[in-house]
Amino acid sequence: MDPRTKSAIPAGLDAEQRKVWETLLQVKAQRGTSSKATPRVVLITDLAEDYDDLLNLIGLLLLDKLGLIE
């Protein structure tokens, strides 16, 4: 594994969580060599209502940080 990829994966994850991160980073690497555009995502939510909206927002923020969405 590329050392830069390894450093992008947070420490302290179990094997299943690490596999998810590795998959996301593979998608990013493959997309970098193709002509596919980065998907743009719009989120409309009511954050004050419950926690599932907040968790979705956090997930989208991580995907944005990784460069998988805009």
The tally of domains found in the chain comes to: 2
One digit per residue, the tens of pLDDT, for the chain of length 70 reads 444 455 678 899 999 999 999 998 888 888 876 667 788 888 888 777 778 888 888 989 988 988 888 8
Same domain, 1 and 32: yes
Same domain, 32 and 1: yes
Same domain, 20 and 42: no
Which residues touch 39 (CB under 8 Å, ≥6 apart)?
68, 69, 70
- CA distances, 15 to each of 5, 32, 65 (Å): 16, 26, 22
* Domain range for 69: 37-70
pTM (2 decimals)? Answer: 0.67
Residue 70 and residue 63: Cα distance in Å, rounded? Answer: 8
Same domain, 24 and 46: no
Same domain, 70 and 43: yes
